[in-house]
Amino acid sequence: MFHALRFRLTLWYALVLAAVLAVFGVSLYGLVRYQLVRHHDAALTEAAAAVARVLSEQEDCEHLTDSQRAELDGIGHLVLFHEVEGEGRVFYRSPDSAAVEIPLDSRAATAPAGAGSFDTLSGKPELLRMYSVPYRSRAGRRGLIHVVHGLGDVPAPLASLRLALLLMAPLAVLLSAAGGYWLAGRALAPVDDVTRLAREIGASSLGRRLPPPKAQDEIGRLVDTLNQMIARLESSFEAMKRFTADASHELRGPLATMRSAIDVALSRPREHSEYRDALASVGEDVDRLRDIAEELLVLARADAGRIAIERHPVRLDVVTTEVVESFEALAAERGVSLCARCVEAVTVAGDERWLRQLVFNLLDNAVKFSAPAKAGERPSVSIEVAEDDGAGLLRVADTGPGIPEQALLRIFERFYRADDARSYQGEGVGLGLSIAAWVVEAHGGRIWAANRPDGGSLFTVSLPVARL
């Protein structure tokens, strides 16, 4: 429970509220106390001025006349006037000041004459507010006038305020925390629902979705995002299932052929040449299995992000020409003419090893699938490299059967083979274009296939050129 978001939200809320109330209470208390204490300040300054006026009638303020004493007695506040220098004699003290213990502070005496200062003293028996002002007599004698007012009426309201604050603040925090806990529970209830429903969705029920939210608030957006995530999971799970099924199917083919070749060879004693033929046929299947395993490994490593694509300036035209040259023997053997006439110098940013693989896979298909477009014509593959609008373009066209319209996008999927290509099953597995598409994507480029108007297919690759 203590780890629940609801509890932590309430705790934070209560803590913040308590801190705010504490600051508010302390400030309020301080303000009220300040106002109560300085309530008499104006009267104290006036009284001090009256004392000074009386004293100014004297040459040296030492021997006050009776009328002057009577005037000072009538001021109504406790008044004390004493000498600062010498023995610090007290010249005058109002009659009722004896009952009050006034802690005298001579620091005020250092202030220039007339510049008074206020103090709040915890005198006995009550709090005192004192105004002290230095005085210099006509004869040059320095003294200090203190006018004091008892603040007996201040502590009582302050105590009530303190009590009210101390009682009310915790109560307010407690009530708000309870309210906050309830509100947090209400606000978070949909999250609990979503969690429960999401928990029920497993690998076998990825087709299920969370119920669409009523409002497009935070929870609504969370549900939408989770649904989109489940949809992505579902499609990659499906792709993975398809991939595994296709992969095992592709592996079973050559294995079954190998098995039957071996069974036939062993069914009865044979000539050496027959064993050699059987082994050669098994060897072909082993090659095919090795090719499949290598291509699968490339795709698996690419999926896991374990193939680092380095970006260096690479001459696409040079790489293409080299790959074309490596295909010349095979093309000649199959009677296909390779034509790489429009090859401009283009430098793209990429990884030469993988760009070579890309060109290889496209040419491999083109040579494999090319057939005479028209009777009597020689099958041909034409290759073009050009730069257009900041992109390096590679075009590989052939005179083969082309690609059925509905398969144009799907041929880049793993293990996908268009029907027309079934007759070539012995040669490909349907991974070459997936690898080509991955290489292009890893380079930040694009690849697409189209059918040429006069027959055959055209593959175009666009790669970002290197900024030199």
Which residues contact ligand ADP by CB under 6 A?
361, 365-366, 369, 398, 400-401, 403, 411, 416-418, 421, 428-434, 457
Cβ 376 to ligand ADP, closest distance in Å? Answer: 21
Min dist. Cβ of residue 386 to ligand ADP (A): 20
The residue among 132 and 370 lying less far from ligand ADP, judged by its C-beta, is: 370
Indicate the burial class of 93 (C-beta count within 10 angstroms; 0-12, 13-18, 19 or more): middle
Min dist CB 373 to ligand ADP, Å, is: 12
- Residues whose CB falls within 8 Å of the CB of residue 131, separated by 6 or more in sequence, listed in order: 41, 44, 45, 47, 48, 116, 117, 118, 146, 147, 148
Q: Smallest gap, in angstroms, from Cβ of residue 372 to ligand ADP?
A: 14
**Contact 64/158 with Cβ under 8 angstroms?**
no
Q: How near is the Cβ of 194 to ligand ADP at its closest, in Å?
A: 41
- Shortest Å distance, C-beta 342 to ligand ADP: 19
Our CB check for ligand ADP shows the closer of 123 and 445 to be 445
Nearest CB to ligand ADP, comparing residues 221 and 446: 446
Indicate the residue among 81 and 327 with the shorter CB distance to ligand ADP: 327
Does residue 125 have a cis peptide bond before it, meaning omega lies within 30 degrees of 0?
yes
Q: Taking Cα atoms as reference points, which of 78, 68, 81, 71 lies closest to residue 40?
A: 78
Order of strands, sheet of 128-136, starting from the edge strand that comes earlier in the sequence? 90-93, 78-83, 142-150, 128-136, 117-121
Look at the chain and count its residues. 468
Q: Which is nearer to ligand ADP, 250 or 317 (CB)?
A: 250
Write the burial class of residue 271 (CB in 10 Å: 0-12 exposed, 13-18 middle, 19+ buried): exposed
H or E, element range at 242: helix 218-266
Q: How far is the CB of 257 from ligand ADP (least distance, A)?
A: 17
| Least CB distance to ligand ADP at residue 281 (A) | 20
Query: Nearest 5°: phi and psi at 316?
Result: -60, -35
Nearer to ligand ADP, 83 or 398 (CB): 398
Give the Cα separation of 146 and 354 in Å (integer): 97
Residue whose structure tokens are 């044979």: 270
Q: Give the separation between CA 448 and CA 355, rounded to whole angstroms.
A: 16
Q: How far apart are CA 336 and CA 333, in angstroms?
A: 8
DSSP readout, 361-427? HHHHHHHHH---SSTTPPPEEEEEEEEETTEEEEEEEE-S----GGGTTGGGSTT---GGGGGGTTT
Considering the complex, state which of residue 176 and residue 457 has its C-beta at the smaller distance from ligand ADP: 457
Compare residues 91 and 243 and give the one whose CB is closer to ligand ADP. 243
CB of 455 to ligand ADP, least distance (A): 11
Residue 314 CB: number of other CB atoms within 10 A? 24
| Nearer Cβ to ligand ADP (59/303) | 303
